[in-house]
Homo-oligomer: A and B are copies of this chain.
Amino acid sequence: MSDTSFSLRNIKIACSNCSLGALCLPYGLDGDDVDRLDEIIKRNHPYQRNEFLFSPEQSFKNLYVVKTGAVKTYVQDDEGQERVIGFHLPGEILGLDAIESNKHSCFAKALETTAVCEMPFERLEDLSKDLPSLQHQMLRLMSREVSNESQMIALLNHSTAEERLASFIVSLAERFQRRGFSSTDFFLPMSRQDIGSYLGLALETVSRLFTRFQELNLLKVERKHIEILDMDGLKGVISHKTECQSVKAS
């Protein structure tokens, strides 16, 4: 019952007509080059909620691009507690941290049913010798990762709980928008616990802040459903040291 042999299926989801387009590796490649990239990409059955894409120590073979769904990456501390490192939405790549050591260094777990492209790294590297724009795009994607993480470090070190959560929500909104989804109305793929772990906050604090933001009419929360009512207000919480109270008067 393996359907990996059905080339028809593969064609339907080929890079050339994938909606991720410029968000992904093929950016900057012309038609023929995309086809060559396409040949090495594996597309598996979707991962189910809580299924692992990879685990620490597992040897590094593939990079992954999320097509639909969401993935969280995390490590475990000595007591087995999760420390969330990041969330990966459609169009976002994961596995980049494993290139150096040839081993994955974290868990990657599907937060919901998730479809991914798996790209054998070695073949990708080979191919990029012939395709300068692929090589450049790989460096670009890694550079973006470094930038994002740097920003995150600056955020974590110097921001209050309010600023962190506001940043997080705005970041999610922008990432959904880039992917073609609504930036003001979306579902959180992760739990309060996961958000707290990612932002360095207790889950209770995250919950209280959602309530506060709602009281301030910045957004509407109902469990995982978020509706942003006042994007500028939210951004105001991030940058200005103004209290939440003074952000929205009326």
A171-195 CB mask vs B (1 if < 8 Å, else 0) is 0000000000000000000000000
Evaluate whether A105 and B240 lie within 8 angstroms (CB atoms) in the complex, with A81-B158, A197-B157, A199-B157 already known: no
CB distance from A194 to the nearest CB of B (A): 12
Q: CA separation between A79 and B239, bound complex, in Å?
A: 10
User: Are B147 and A83 in touch, CB under 8 angstroms?
Assistant: no
A46 at the interface (CB under 8 A from B): no
User: Are B147 and A78 in touch, CB under 8 angstroms?
Assistant: no
Which of A30-38, A137-145, A218-226 lies at the interface with chain B? A137-145
Tell me the count of chain A residues lying within 8 A, CB to CB, of chain B.
49
Q: CA separation between A106 and B153, bound complex, in Å?
A: 13
Chain copies in complex: 2
Q: CA separation between A75 and B150, bound complex, in Å?
A: 10
A154 at the interface (CB under 8 A from B): yes
Q: CA separation between A149 and B142, bound complex, in Å?
A: 12
Which of A84, A101, A200: most chain B Cβ within 10 A? A200
User: Are A150 and B78 in touch, CB under 8 angstroms?
Assistant: no
In the bound complex, residues from chain B placing their C-beta under 8 Å from that of A142 are 96, 99, 139, 142-143, 146
User: Are B143 and A86 in touch, CB under 8 angstroms?
Assistant: no
A198 at the interface (CB under 8 A from B): yes
User: Are B75 and A154 in touch, CB under 8 angstroms?
Assistant: yes
Which of A83, A129, A144, A199: most chain B Cβ within 10 A? A83
Q: CA separation between A86 and B152, bound complex, in Å?
A: 12
Q: CA separation between A136 and B97, bound complex, in Å?
A: 14
From B73, B85, B147, give the contact of A97 (CB < 8 A): B147
Show 23 A/B contacts (Cβ-Cβ < 8 Å), sorted by A. A73-B150, A75-B154, A78-B239, A84-B157, A85-B153, A86-B153, A96-B146, A97-B143, A97-B146, A97-B150, A99-B139, A99-B140, A99-B142, A100-B140, A125-B135, A128-B135, A129-B129, A135-B135, A142-B142, A142-B143, A146-B146, A158-B197, A158-B200
Q: 19 new A-B pairs (CB below 8 Å) besides A79-B241, A83-B154, A83-B157?
A: A83-B158, A84-B157, A86-B153, A96-B142, A97-B147, A100-B140, A100-B144, A100-B147, A105-B147, A128-B135, A129-B129, A139-B139, A145-B146, A149-B149, A153-B153, A153-B156, A156-B156, A156-B200, A158-B200
